[in-house]
Amino acid sequence: MASYYLKWGEERLEEANQLAAEEQALAVQKDMLGDEGIDALANKTESFKAMNPFETDDLAIASATMNLTTQQYHQLYMQTKPIESVSYTHLTLPTKRIV
């Protein structure tokens, strides 16, 4: 039983470290880009997400961060393929893509 709690504690510590690293990375990006840069990045991400509303955010965020144009994003989207999908009777939605 002790090993269960030890493993649980290690997992919680790992999650806390990952969250701290993500917060630190966000702070660095805010310092580098400023408020206007963050807003521009968010707007570009939202425009990419609007092009493919059923796509996961990962591709749109990465494309916006790389400062791709909408045409480049569309080409990248068409060149990648889903690696997981959720099927609802007549509709299949991609959940992740291989880049």
Q: What is the pLDDT of residues 38-53, one digit of tens each?
A: 889 899 999 999 998 8
* CB atoms inside a 10 Å sphere around CB 78: 8
Which residue type sits at 97? R
CA angle 51, 52, 55 (to 5 degrees): 150
CA angle 49, 87, 47 (to 5 degrees): 5
Supply the pTM of this predicted model: 0.56
Identify the residue with better confidence: 96 or 67. Answer: 67
What H or E segment, with its residue span, contains residue 90? none
Has residue 92 got a pLDDT over 70?
A: no
Identify the residue with better confidence: 31 or 93. Answer: 31
Question: What tens digit of pLDDT does each residue of 48-72 get?
Answer: 999 988 777 888 989 998 999 999 9
Domain boundaries, the chain: 2-98
